[in-house]
Amino acid sequence: MEGALSRVCNLSSFSCSNLSLCEKSRSHFTKPPLMADLLFIRAVNYAERHKSSSRPSKFSKRPREPNSGGSPRRKEATGFSNIEYIDYLGPIDTPNKTHVLNSEVSPHRAVSAVRLMRIEQGGAFADLLNEKGKGSGDNEMAYVERTLGFRTRDLDDRDLRLVTDIVGGAIRWRRYLDHLILSLCHDESTFSHMEPLLMQILRIGFYEIVKLDMPPYAVVDENVKLAKVALRPGAGNMVNGILRKLVLLKEKNSLSLPKIEGDDRAQARALATLYSHPVWMVRRWTKHLGQEEAVRLMMWNNSDPRFSLRANKGKGFTRADLVMRLEMLKVPYELSSHLDDFVRIRTGMQASVAYMQDLIQVKLWKQVEILLTQLMVFALRSNIEIVIQAGLLKEGLCSVQDESAGLVVSIVDPQPGETIIDCCAAPGGKTLFMASRLCGRGMVSAIDINKGRLRILKETAKLLQVDDVVNTVHADLRTFADKNLVKSDKVLLDAPCSGLGVLSKRADLRWNRRLEDMEQLKNLQDELLDAASTLVKPGGILVYSTCSIDSEENEERVAAFLLRHPEFCVGPVDGYVPHDFVTEHGFYFSYPVKHCLDGSFAARLVRSL
């Protein structure tokens, strides 16, 4: 029983320990969207945000060079839009394959493999559900057919849940999985020159066996079959040999994993592999937080993301109405203790782990065994998926929004009749929440450089029935500020940042950030702060916020701004957010491990009269 419980904790990706932590403590640089938005992007009309910019008709096979940590070497980037992690992108050439329906290959594994390849090419991350939650969409199957040379059946609800888990998990644990794959290859050259699709199939198999604890015989058989059909018989034989080696080592508890020993650099490399993060992040967090807290943070980033829903009062839909609908749908929820409009929901996995803990306390072992079996075969539905299928998002009755973002709006404190500017506004979650708090009087001007995302924001405002108080402006904030003479009561600058506070919901983001990016980001944040400050009335409020937990993007940017702009001073956020979120300097800060929310920061700056 203890071994089974251990497996379920692995299966739930830190859910058990994460719950206990909460109980104890309770390409340009655009803002990274929350994973909740990304997972259910079409339901809230965010699909255009991550469209792939390049869709090659053929894959070019490029060699890959392993680094000391066992992960592929990151390709040097020449600009913000050219940041890559893997140096072996592109589909395989399949000119002789007949594009027919293949019913033998596991459809969710085929879709997962192709999606993982698309993500490494800069394509959409985890856009898995359409509005009805059925199938994977014609576009998805077109990618599968073009890449693999055959079609699979459409995905059912269970397949979609598996794709969601496998894609997110394989990306989160990529460095860890690559280390294991390299250790079981014949030599480094085999790993370095492995075909892209073959690498993805192995990652899927390793993730299923090591992290999901799925039945090894089924995992081996299905992934071998996929490799043989999509590539060639020899590739299937290679997958068979490597996966069988993995199964034997796992059964003997003899996986080749690095030890945390040696100097600081060596320990950082080991931790980066064990917890699957870039070395530079590990070194940065270890330096500022200490090793133990850095490990806690990485465990959070690798855990199942948590979601919150905001009831849309613009449509007269209150939190009480939302709760009633959730109860009708039998979706477990918790009322937010921080925000009146918000409700926390759990994924099916998290709710089941919590329920299992209750069963263990009263020693109902039979029920525990039954629940374990359900977990192992993925019989549980995602509760957020139930919300989507019920049409709550599509009808505009509620929105997926983290409480940390809602607390930033509380710091802005929109009041009816005020004029507010939301700089860098898209995708618009804070814009729409501020608009709902104006009660039909006042105006929120949403400025963004991305015209397509602004169009989506405008459509969403209409859906939520707050379009009468939302005005969209397509412009670069710096140019707009130079030409604009009108001042506003309040200005929110939710600045482009590293997104280090939302790595739990953006599994791919950790691989798309480099240490060198931080300096460029700081310069951009300073420029945007200077521009935003010119839009504030005397006596008005400027709120600077990020979804980062890094002090260089947060407190240090505010300190530098105040030196350049003595006409501003810090206005304490006490009274706008709970005291637990207020720092010693009067700023707002949500820390994932402590608050069980996305990491975020905000400063309320007051302009003198």
Strands (E), 338-430: 342-345, 398-400, 419-423
Is 559 labelled as part of a ligand binding site?
Answer: no
Residue 388: what pLDDT?
75
Q: Is the pLDDT of residue 106 over 70?
A: yes
Pairing of strands 342-345, 307-311: antiparallel
Q: How confident is the model at residue 246 (pLDDT cuts 50, 70, 90)?
A: very high
Residue 76: what pLDDT?
33
Strand partners, 568: 607
Is the CA virtual torsion 458, 412, 23, 497 positive or negative? positive
- Return d(Cα 507, Cα 301) in angstroms, integer: 8
Mean pLDDT of 1-16: 44
Is 448 labelled as part of a ligand binding site?
Answer: yes
Is 425 labelled as part of a ligand binding site?
Answer: yes
Is 428 labelled as part of a ligand binding site?
Answer: yes
Here the tokens at position 411 are 């710091």
Q: Is the pLDDT of residue 247 over 80?
A: yes
pLDDT, one tens digit per residue, over 147-193 is 888 888 887 777 888 888 899 999 999 999 999 999 999 889 999 89
Write down the pTM of the prediction: 0.78
Q: How confident is the model at residue 492 (pLDDT cuts 50, 70, 90)?
A: very high
| % of the chain surpassing 70 pLDDT | 74
Q: How confident is the model at residue 139 (pLDDT cuts 50, 70, 90)?
A: low
Which of 7-16, 43-52, 464-473, 537-546 has the least mean pLDDT?
43-52
Which of 14-28, 108-122, 237-251, 509-523 has the least mean pLDDT?
14-28
pLDDT, one tens digit per residue, over 291-339 is 999 999 999 999 988 889 999 988 889 999 999 999 998 888 999 999 9
Is 424 labelled as part of a ligand binding site?
Answer: yes
Q: How many CA atoms lie less than 13 Å away from 35 in the CB half-sphere?
A: 28
Is 321 labelled as part of a ligand binding site?
Answer: no
Q: Is the pLDDT of residue 242 over 90?
A: yes
Q: What residues are annotated to the active site?
A: 547
Q: How confident is the model at residue 95 (pLDDT cuts 50, 70, 90)?
A: very low
pLDDT, one tens digit per residue, over 59-80 is 344 444 444 344 433 333 333 3
More confident residue, 328 or 140: 328
Residue 1: what pLDDT?
47
- Which residues lie below 8 Å from residue 46, measured CB to CB, with a gap of 6+? 33, 37, 38, 427, 456
Here the tokens at position 60 are 């070019």
pLDDT, one tens digit per residue, over 427-476 is 899 999 999 999 999 999 999 999 999 999 999 999 999 999 999 999 99
Residue 327: what pLDDT?
92
| % of the chain surpassing 90 pLDDT | 61
Peptide bond between residue 427 and the one before it cis (omega within 30 degrees of 0):
yes
Is 429 labelled as part of a ligand binding site?
Answer: yes
- Return d(Cα 242, Cα 234) in angstroms, integer: 13
Residue 355: what pLDDT?
43
Residue 90: what pLDDT?
37
Mean pLDDT of 274-300: 97
Q: How far is CA 245 from the centre of its chain?
A: 32
Is 540 labelled as part of a ligand binding site?
Answer: no
Mean pLDDT estimate for the chain: 81
Of 505, 373, 383, the C-alpha closest to 8 is: 373
| Distance, first Cα to last Cα, the chain | 68
User: What DSSP character marks residue 41?
Assistant: T
pLDDT, one tens digit per residue, over 190-211 is 998 999 999 999 999 999 999 9
> Is the distance from CB of 510 to CB of 580 less than 8 angstroms?
no
More confident residue, 357 or 159: 159
Here the tokens at position 268 are 């950082």
- Go through the chain and tell me how many residues it has: 609
Q: Is the pLDDT of residue 417 over 90?
A: yes
